[in-house]
Amino acid sequence: MDLMGMMGKLKETQQKIEDTKKRLDTVLIDEQSADGLLKVTLTANRKVTAISIDDSLLEDKEQLEDYLIVTLNKAIEKATSVNEKELDAVAKMDMPMIPGMDDLFK
């Protein structure tokens, strides 16, 4: 492949990545505590969009903090997984294998 063709392909792939990042803002990840008392929603770009807290959790600050940490971390893990899979798929779709370019799109 000629250099100009590779540069064009790189630019096209970068645009696809940007488009995918925008689309991931609309992909919602829902997570809740085991008992359903705390619910969070994140985008696949790891932005919190909603938190729902049952009134019973408002009586115990430490318990609420623990619920938030556990539930948000689980949601962030799921969102990160979706995000990475989507962006990796786009980055690898049409790119020629060039040594050292693997980390360019992360």
> How many domains is the chain partitioned into structurally?
1
In a domain, 7, yes or no: no
**For the whole model, what pTM was predicted?**
0.73
pLDDT of residue 99: 57
Residue 89 structural domain? 27-94
Query: Does some domain include residue 4?
Result: no
- What is the domain-level CATH number for residue 43? 3.30.1310.10
Tens of pLDDT along 1-40?
577 777 777 788 888 888 988 999 999 999 999 999 999 9
Q: Does the pLDDT of residue 61 top 90, yes or no? A: yes
Radius of gyration of the chain (CA): 19
Residue 9 lies in a domain: no
Residue 32 lies in a domain: yes
What letters, b where the CB count within 10 A reaches 16 and e where it falls short, cover 55-64? Answer: eebeeeeeeb
Q: Is the pLDDT of residue 77 over 60?
A: yes
pLDDT at 16: 87
Whether 3 maps to a domain, the answer reads no
Answer whether residue 47 shows pLDDT above 70: yes
